[in-house]
Amino acid sequence: MPQLASRLDNVKVSASAAMTDKARELRAQGVQIISLSSGEPDFPTPPHAIEAAHQAALAGDTKYPAQPGTAALRAAVQRKFKRENNLDYALDEILIANGGKQIIFNALLATCNPGDEVVIPAPGWITYADIALLAEATPVPVPCPENNHFKLRADDLDAAITPKTKWLILNFPNNPTGAACTRSEMQAIADVMLKHPHVWILTDDIYEHLTYDGFEFCTIAEVEPKLKDRVLTVNGASKAYAMTGWRVGYCGGPKQLIAAMNNVHGQATGGICTLSQAAAVAVLDGSQDLLKERADVYRERRDLVVRFLNAIPGITCHTPEGAFYVFPNIAGCIGKTTERGRRIESDTDFVSALLEEQHVATVQGSAYGMSPYVRISYATDAETLKEGCRRISSFCAGLR
């Protein structure tokens, strides 16, 4: 049989996607699954986005789009960056792609050579490291321990950078921890990066609008304008506007980098769906009131889940500043045995047994680079969260 490409040897199927698929399979078999594994908002897409897509279709906007994005959407992104982030990007410094994931893929494929290193705070989104591997670069994790609230320490970052470093990837608010950086904390990171002018910086701001308790989001090119000419600011419509299926990611960055990314983009897919672009224009230029309304709901859900989890023996749960995940520490459950006789030696054992015995889907922290933790998404309704927490409590109560 012909051989597959060796570049896939170290690239794993996403643990969160695998767990979500497993939960879906069990549900199809009639099992009453509580899925807390998916990073997908349960809110509907805003009606004015759907109407904009409908009107675009009726108007015949169904042909091949401009490869870097329609002029209308790039202009809307330009206004968004200026309005919300105090960042000025020319239209040829903006690229639209099939979700934030493709933006990141385009960036690393356009810049990385074999032997290059990509510095990634850990725990971090699974896909960053896998895209680096596909680009034939080496992911370099930098631990962000719980005793620093899962944030990146400047000294640790500085120590991780070498002459081979090509990128630093930032994601605050963070998946899977929900950690977010204050302006002073981001300035400390920026100060380190000013010392290393050979390194690009990618900031994945997809959870920008999901912060709580008055926490103010900031992005690195805004905090330190001297870095702007080597920062790629990435965002999208998926999380804030509940438009995961529309597949709209966008970014702003230096013209030369954007042109190279657009070249990759053109060979991989070309311009994204015209109707999705029309919908994205509508939400970026429309009323932003729904963002705070939904963030308030997420905050209530966060507080509910943190309260429940901290009442469970063997689990402690930090209260995050943003996103819609909690990342509880399950160290108190390791080394114990479930009611059905399964030994819990790791967080992977924990989530597997929890799914099998209590039918709750979560994701092991080891998939994100830190154990023994579990990622729980609270992007679902309160009753589902309560039932999920009750089942986790019952599971832990049965450990011996």
Within this chain, do residues 217 and 307 fall inside the same structural domain, yes or no? no
- 204 and 264 assigned to the same domain: yes
Select from 226, 254, 285 the last residue of a domain.
285
Q: State how many domains the chain has.
A: 2
| Same domain, residue pair 324 and 361 | yes
Q: Is residue 50 part of a domain?
A: no
Question: Which pLDDT does position 20 carry in this prediction?
Answer: 76
Among 233, 267, 285, the domain boundary falls at 285
Residue 23 confidence (pLDDT): 79
pLDDT at residue 31 in the model: 85
| Integer angstrom CA distances of residue 27 from 13, 20, 35, 205, 375 | 21, 10, 10, 33, 20
Question: Count of CB atoms within 10 A of residue 28's CB?
Answer: 9
pLDDT beneath 70, residues of the chain: none
Beta-strand runs (E) in the chain: 34-35, 94-97, 117-122, 138-143, 165-170, 200-204, 231-236, 249-252, 325-326, 360-361, 363-364, 374-377
Residue 1 lies in a domain: no
Same domain for 21 and 115?
A: no
The residue among 82, 94, 52, 45 whose CA lies nearest residue 277 is 52
What tens digit of pLDDT does each residue of 249-282 get?
A: 999 999 999 999 999 999 999 999 999 999 999 9
Assign residue 14 the CATH number of its domain: 3.90.1150.10
Instruction: State phi, psi for 364 to the nearest 5 degrees.
Output: -65, 140
Is residue 264 assigned to a domain? yes
Q: 281 and 137, same structural domain? A: yes
Is 277 part of a structural domain of the chain?
yes
136 and 267 in a single domain? The answer is: yes
In a shared domain, residues 240 and 178: yes
Considering the domain architecture, whether residues 155 and 234 belong to the same structural domain is answered as: yes
Coil/strand/helix, residue 52: helix
DSSP strand pairing (34-35 vs 360-361): parallel
Where is the domain boundary, 285, 318, 350? 285
- Quick one: residue 233, left, alpha or beta (phi over 0 = left, psi -120 to 50 = alpha)? beta
pLDDT for 8 equals 84
Strand order across the beta sheet in which 363-364 lies: 325-326, 374-377, 363-364
Is the residue at 49 inside a domain?
Answer: no
Range of the domain at 357: 6-44+290-395
Same domain, yes or no: 176 and 95: yes
Q: What's the mean per-residue pLDDT of the chain?
A: 96
Kindly state whether residues 131 and 258 are assigned to the same domain: yes
- E runs forming strands in 70-199: 94-97, 117-122, 138-143, 165-170
Triad 19, 20, 21: Cα angle to 5°: 90
